[in-house]
Structure 1
Amino acid sequence: MRGMAVVHRTHGAQRFKHRKTFAARKEESTFIRSKYPQKIPVIVERYHGERHLKSLDKTKYLVPQDVIVSHFITIIRNRLALTPNQAFYLVVRNKSLSNMYATIAELDQEFQDSDGFLYISYASQEMFGAS
C-alpha cells in the first residue's frame, strides 16, 4: 500500500506487549507519533487462540490516518494470502470491527492503548463459531 510502512518483523508467538516494557512501548510510540504525525502506529497480531490463520511476518505498521478499515482489511488479507472465500475479522479490544468506513484515525481515537499504539487482532470465521 502506498504510504503505509511496515516497520517490524514478528518474533515467534510472543506478543508485542510481552516483548517490551510499557515504558519502552510508550517511548517508542511517542517518538513515532512525533516523527510521523500523519500516521498511526498499529500493532497487528493474530487473535489469541486462532489456529486457522497463519501469523503475519510483520506486526508493526505505520498507517496513514485517512486509511479506512475496509482498505486496511484488504492489506491484511493480501499479507495473509487468503483466498476470496476465506472470511476473517479484525478485532479491537475483543470487538469485531463492523464500520468498514471508519478511518484508522477514528479507531485510534477510540481504541488507542495507554502505551500509544493501536492494537488490532485478526481471526478466522471459525474462531467465532461460524461456518
Structure 2
Amino acid sequence: MGPHLFSPPPPPKGQGLGKGRGAVPISVAWPRGGVLLSSFSHVSVFQVILERYPKEKVLPALDRTKFLVPQELTMGQFVTIIRNRMALSSTQSFYLLVDGSRSLVSMSLTMAEVYTLNQDEDGFLYMTYASQEMFG
C-alpha cells in the first residue's frame, strides 16, 4: 500500500500549504485525549478509530488505534493491512465490526461508503476488531 495510509497525503505538485492554495489548517481532537494538528489540501482520507474488543484474549493489541485511511481503499484491503500489522497467520481469523451499525460490512465496500453509512457524530469512523471466540 502507499505511504499515505497512516499519514495525510502531501499537497499536489505546485500547491503549497500557504494562504489561498486550498489547504485549510485544522485541529482534530482525538477521543480520549490528544490532538492532531495537520493541514489537508483535499479531503481524501477518513479518520478511523480501530479498537480491540474489550474481552479479546487471542488477538494481539495494535501499536496504534488511530488511522487516516484513503477513501478509495476497500474494506478487504483495510483488513489485509490490519492482518499484516498484527502479524496473523493464515489460520487465525479476525472480524472488523463497524460500531455505527455494530455489524460486519461487505469487504467490497470502499472506506468512503462505510464512512458515509456509519460515521459518528464527531466525524470519526469507529471499528472494533475481535476473534471468532467473541461470538461464543
Q: Does TM, scored on the shorter chain, surpass 0.5?
A: yes
Larger Rg: 2
CA shift digits 1:64-87 (9 cap, x unpaired): 101000110000001111100101
Question: Cα RMSD between the aligned structures?
Answer: 2.2
Structure 1 equivalent of residue 60 of structure 2 = 54
Q: Which residue of 2 aligns with 1:95?
A: 102
Paired residues, number: 112
Q: Which amino acid aligns with 1:104?
A: M
What SS does structure 1 have at the residue aligned with 2:82? helix
Q: Bigger shift: 54-63 or 90-99? A: 90-99
Q: Quick one: higher RCO (CA 8 Å, sep 6+), 1 or 2? A: 1
CA spacing shift, 1:89–1:59, aligned 2, 3 Å: same
Kindly state the Cα deviation for residue 128 of structure 1 after the two structures are TM-superposed: 1.3
Describe the SS at the equivalent of 1:78: helix
Q: C-alpha separation between the residues in 2 aligned to 1:62 and 1:101?
A: 19
Q: Secondary structure at the match of 1:62?
A: strand
Decide whether the 8 Å contact of 2:97 with 2:105 is kept in 1: no
Kindly indicate whether the alpha-carbon contact (under 8 Å) linking 1:90 and 1:97 is maintained by their aligned counterparts in 2. Answer: yes
Alignment gaps of 5+ in structure 1: 8-15
TM-score by length of 1: 0.75
Contact map agreement 1:6 1:58 (CA 8 A) in 2:
no
Identify the residue that residue 65 of structure 1 maps to in structure 2. 71
Aligned to 2:112: 105
Q: Is the 8 A contact 1:39 1:63 kept in 2?
A: yes
Q: What stretches of structure 2 of length at least 5 have no aligned partner?
A: 9-29
Superposed displacement of residue 6, structure 1? 5.3
